Amino acid sequence: MLSAAQKYEFKLTRSRNRSTWICATFRCILLCNGGSDHRERCVFPSQRDANALDVRQTGTSAWRAVARVLRSPVDSLGCALFPAPCRLCGESLLHLSRVPVCNSCWQQLPEQNEILCAICGEALGIQDFGEADRLLCRFCRTTAPPFERAVAHGLYQDKLRELLHLLKYDGMEPVSAPLGQLLARQIAAVEGIPKKLVVVPVPLFRSKHRQRSFNQAELLARAAIKALRQARPEWKLSVAAGVLERRRATESQAGLTPHQRRANVRGAFFVSAPEKIKGADLLLIDDIYTTGATARACAQALRRAGAASVYVATVARAQRQERIQPPVLPATLAPMHEDVAFWDAELVPAVRGGS
């Protein structure tokens, strides 16, 4: 049995060892950040040189090592001192995060589970009898789109819709990272997609970009590429953010019929540097695919500039309202008719006629 003095000495020694290790780790960080070109050992005091890891540390990796050690107690203390609700469900957050959304809400982002058009991804409203490999919607059968395939993660409703609102209208740019991972999963699952792609985000008009200070499509594109490079390291991906431009301001697409949407974006896009995409396979990235008017206009401009093929990927897909039960929206969100296109002109609310 240890005496009281021996127990106190043991606790004191353990405390000193922990403090010494933390100090040594921070010393390693300072040396690495100082630009010294040599190897630094960051080990526990009880370890011998023979067991030490002789590696070249970077400032980023060293800071991450410290963050992993301190993350749990800091999370607990921070959430206790500065409680914050989830922006989607209102429950208290259990972890500090740049995105105020709880883990439960992130898990409520289901993929589409209907039978979809093999080209544009339109819900066909039929049951799967095992022969749905190349079923096409009426529009794709009559007029083939200028892109090879359009995919999306989930329906533009509920949690996914609210997350995209946080990104676009509340300026929460970190939301793009997890949404980009969902997007990457859909892109990687496309059968026959080229392994060498030039990624082109759908551009904003200059005034809209200045007002928002960022392009949500570009943020999603870069996040998706980061995730794809980890999941598919053999793929060759590059971003061409400025190759496609919007030459004029267009009316908001919200609430317009498909015909009005096509007229709204007709001639709005052009390729400023055709030599960068000539003969290349392109991946067009946007946040939402509604009727496909924007995707078709962009893909048409890219194909005319010499692109070999164009694939389209979006986070969300708005399907025909008569096939999907509209969700019950919180009072703080805009009505659905102000946010999604109407497929039939007679369904457009009368309030639009007075504006």
Query: What are the DSSP calls for 107-155, one per residue?
Result: T--PPP-S-B-TTT--B------S--SS---HHHHHS--SSSEEEEEEE
Mean pLDDT comparison of 94-98, 113-117, 344-348, highest-scoring range: 113-117
* Domain ranges in the chain with CATH number 3.40.50: 106-112+145-353
| Average pLDDT estimate for 47-69 | 47
List the single range of 99-113, 308-322, 325-339 with lowest mean pLDDT: 325-339
3-state SS assignment for residue 10: helix
Angstrom distance (rounded) from CA 203 to CA 80: 42
In DSSP terms, 313 is beta-bridged to 151, 285
List the single range of 184-188, 209-213, 342-346 with lowest mean pLDDT: 342-346
pLDDT over 60 at 139, yes or no: yes
As a whole number, the mean pLDDT across the chain is 75
Select from 331, 269, 260 the least CA-distant residue to 290.
Answer: 260
H/E run at residue 236? strand 236-239
Select from 141, 154, 211, 159 the least CA-distant residue to 333.
Answer: 159
Higher pLDDT: 94 or 120? It is: 120
3-state SS assignment for residue 164: helix
| Average pLDDT estimate for 284-301 | 93
Higher pLDDT: 20 or 219? It is: 219
pLDDT over 70 at 210, yes or no: yes
pLDDT over 50 at 20, yes or no: no
Fold for the domain defined by 106-112+145-353: Rossmann fold (3.40.50)
| Average pLDDT estimate for 167-177 | 93
pLDDT band per the 50, 70, 90 thresholds, residue 92: confident
